[in-house]
Amino acid sequence: MSGTHSDVPSVLAHELPRPVPLDELAACPVGEVFRRVGDKWSMLLMILLGHRPYRFNELHRAVEGISQRMLTRTLRGLENDGLVRREVFPTVPPGVEYSLTPLGRSLLEPLSALADWAVRHGSALGRAPEPR
């Protein structure tokens, strides 16, 4: 990474005058983020957890539509990414509380910019892509 810090924000401002050897683009950090939280449920859970900590079944009921399997897998993924923290309370019955890490909370901010855009221009995206 060359430290060419133009005042225009971030990677998108780089000049890409020629065919890019993928070294630049595949390493595109936006892509990485999308790969992590771009799945069906991740950011949904993150938005929920952005408000307050939730317990497992609490999340299960809140999202209602997610399977237990995917809830577990998604939470594990977010935990491995350092976005979500998992805290176990050895009570009876056992309780597990999920919350956002500072990193996760920080991700919520740029995500809100995206949400903001979606609210304003989202209607233009309304039509689904034609099947087949």
- The nearest distance, CB 21 to its own copies, in angstroms, is 7
d(CA 38, CA 27): 16
Determine if 27 is a binding residue for DNA (CB under 7 A): no
Q: Interior CA angle at 78 toward 72 and 79, to 5°?
A: 85
Determine if 80 is a binding residue for its own copies (CB under 8 A): yes
Coil, strand or helix at 122: helix
Q: Are 84 and 78 in contact (CB under 8 A)?
A: yes
Residues 19-58 that bind its own copies (CB under 8 A): 19-22, 25-26, 28-34, 36, 38, 43-44, 47-48, 50-51, 58
Determine if 50 is a binding residue for DNA (CB under 7 A): no
User: Binding segment for DNA among 2-10, 12-20, 92-100, 110-118 (CB under 7 A)?
Assistant: 92-100
Determine if 57 is a binding residue for DNA (CB under 7 A): yes
Q: 40-66: buried (b, 16+ CB within 10 Å) or exposed (e) per residue?
A: ebbbbbbebbbeeebebeebbeebeeb
Give the x/- contact pattern for its own copies in 102-131, rule: CB under 8 A: -x-xxxxxxxxxxxxxxx-xx-xx-x-xx-
